[in-house]
Amino acid sequence: MKYCLFLLSAITLILLAGIITKEIRLNAVSSNISQNAVSSNISQNDDEQKLDQHGDRANYNHSSLNADKTLEEGPLQIPSAMIDRGLVKIAKPLKVKFDLHNPTSDNIIIHQVTRECGCLTPQLSNKIITAGKTETLTLEINTLSQPPGKREWQDTILYRIGSKMEKTYAKKVIFRAELVREIQISPAAILLSTTDSEIQQSIHIKDERKKGFQIKSIRCSIPGIDCKKTQGEASQNPSIQHELTVTVTKKTPIGFHEAKIQIDTDDPEYSILEVPFRVVKKDKSQISASTDRLFFQLGKDQSTASRLVCIGDGNHDAIALERIETDSSEITTKSANGPGKMVTVRVGIQLSEMSKKTFQKDGLVKIYIKEPKPQLIVLPVHWEQKEEEEDD
């Protein structure tokens, strides 16, 4: 009898263990499926599974440090880490400067300045701050992409100390302003990509003041870019005071170019209007990506999405990457070898709370090729969220 009871108890324990194990596996699978459904807007194919399995072998995910909220501030001193400019008119140039002081006896090396908003353009006077010295971080804000009202922008300075290069520190700077809109320019920034054909982009300017202005000249420092004033929609839409056309001609050199469309006016208050302008002119014979640009459309409550890009060349040579850079902390990248001699890059979007409040939805992925020959591939990235649909 005792033996039977013992045997019955053992069988019961085995059955319970099996049920618990199965439930844990089901929960893990369910969690994994849920996570993949949110983090990707494409189906999980064989190449993507390979990327997941071997991505750590050649991981160029530049958002990993950005997402780490546990980094210490370290010794870097910023006397005025928060600057408030008060009332600022949209469309007027806006720059702020932060002094970065090194109080240590070693060099401080600025590793990266991350941006929570693509409207910010950081510029360092020097990436290395020598012992006891001070350098300057300048932030330029493209106010055209921002809504009116009180705004706050943050940048995170990621840095290391010369004798402790294995440890990364993080220091934040904050800039505040209350934006007022009198002039609206659309689009707020231009990003174009072409191979050998001409491509155009229109710019519309609306002036909400009774007193308008006249455009004296339009210019761009990039060779082969034609800028001129046109009529088009402006002649039919009274709310559009001015319409401009920017053309990337066949004279534009191969490569990535970045400048500003500068619009001179006769208005002393808005004497120069500037629109950030970037263009990628590609050569068909070079190493290329499987797409010219990336477009993401996210649902109202969706904050992440990703797509795969294959890098290869017509000679079927093995591709090796040197590094990948992005100009926005909301763009993530991860790379892996394959299929074949190509390299696959997963480009993702991970929206922050700040980005959901801005109109800036454009960025760049810069892929630096090491082999078979050094080359830079630039992919424009655009993302937007669907508005909530109203019930009938």
What DSSP assignment string belongs to 316-368?
-PPPEEEEEEESSTTEEEEEEE-STT-EEEEEEEE--TTGGGSS--EEEEEEE
Superfamily of domain 82-180: Immunoglobulins (2.60.40.10)
Cα distances (angstroms) measured from residue 190 to each of 100, 230, 303? 32, 17, 24
Nearest Cα residue to 380 out of 302, 328, 339, 312:
328
- Take residue 89 and report the two structure tokens written for it: 């008119």
Q: What is the pLDDT of residue 134?
A: 96
Distance CA 310, CA 47 (A): 10
- Does pLDDT of 305 surpass 80? yes
Q: What is the pLDDT of residue 66?
A: 41
Write the CB contacts of 188 (distance below 8 Å, at least 6 apart in sequence): 142, 144, 145, 275, 276, 359, 360
Flag the least confident range among 86-95, 101-110, 312-321, 332-341: 312-321
Strand 242-248 relative to strand 199-207: parallel, antiparallel, unpaired?
antiparallel
Query: What proportion of the chain, given as a percentage, has pLDDT over 70?
Result: 76
Q: What is the pLDDT of residue 353?
A: 64
Distance CA 174, CA 161 (A): 23
Q: What is the pLDDT of residue 107?
A: 93
Greatest C-alpha distance within the chain: 105
Domain chopping of the chain, boundaries: 54-63+286-385, 82-180, 196-281
Flag the least confident range among 9-23, 83-97, 101-115, 137-151: 9-23
Q: What is the pLDDT of residue 302?
A: 85
3-state SS assignment for residue 302? coil
Q: Does domain 196-281 have CATH number 2.60.40?
A: yes
Nearest Cα residue to 340 out of 317, 373, 370:
317
pLDDT, tens only, 168-182 = 899 999 999 999 999
> Residue 359: which region, alpha, beta or left (left: phi > 0; alpha: psi -120 to 50)?
alpha
- Take residue 217 and report the two structure tokens written for it: 């000249």
Write the CB contacts of 136 (distance below 8 Å, at least 6 apart in sequence): 97, 98, 99, 100, 124, 125
For range 25-33, the mean pLDDT: 35
CA dihedral 291, 331, 128, 323 (to 10 degrees): -40
For range 191-206, the mean pLDDT: 88
pLDDT, tens only, 279-295 = 988 877 778 888 888 88
Across the chain, what does the average pLDDT equal? 78
CA atoms within 13 A of residue 381's CA, in its CB half-sphere: 29
Q: What is the pLDDT of residue 126?
A: 92
| Residue 195: band (very low, low, confident or very high) from pLDDT cuts 50, 70, 90 | confident
Query: Which amino acid is residue 146, in one-letter code?
Result: Q
- Does pLDDT of 59 surpass 60? no
Write the CB contacts of 361 (distance below 8 Å, at least 6 apart in sequence): 118, 355, 382, 383, 384
Report phi then psi at 174, rounded to 5.
Answer: -130, 140
Q: Does domain 54-63+286-385 have CATH number 2.60.40.60?
A: yes
Report phi then psi at 35, rounded to 5.
Answer: -65, -40
pLDDT, tens only, 317-342 = 899 999 998 877 788 999 999 888 89
Q: Helices (H) and strands (E) in the chain — how many of each?
A: 2, 24
pLDDT, tens only, 240-259 = 789 999 999 999 998 889 99
| pTM for this predicted structure | 0.65
Flag the least confident range among 27-41, 91-105, 147-161: 27-41
Q: What is the pLDDT of residue 193?
A: 83
Fold match between 54-63+286-385 and 82-180? yes
